[in-house]
Amino acid sequence: MRSPGDQPQPWAEWVDRPLTDTELDGVCRCAPRERPYGDRAWVHGADDRLGLQSSRNPQGHPSVKV
């Protein structure tokens, strides 16, 4: 496991890289629901560790089946 101080190299270039349109769209979808953003496996792990499983559910009331 990496320590909290480990950063990818070269760190400055990685941090300063602009987001792609796809990444920006993903962040904009996740931020209003305070949902983690990342690949599916990482998001599910973060949801489980942080108790955010409900952020994976669709918004609103469940559909009523008649």
Domain ranges of the chain: 18-54
pLDDT at position 57: 67
Please tell me the distance from the alpha carbon of residue 30 to that of residue 60, in angstroms, as a whole number: 16
- In Å, what is the CA distance from 16 to each residue of 10, 19, 48? 10, 9, 29
pLDDT digits 0-9 by tens, 6-41: 777 787 888 899 999 999 999 999 898 888 888 889
Does this model's pTM top 0.95? no
Confidence of residue 4 (pLDDT cuts 50, 70, 90): low
pLDDT digits 0-9 by tens, 39-66: 889 888 888 888 887 666 666 776 777 7
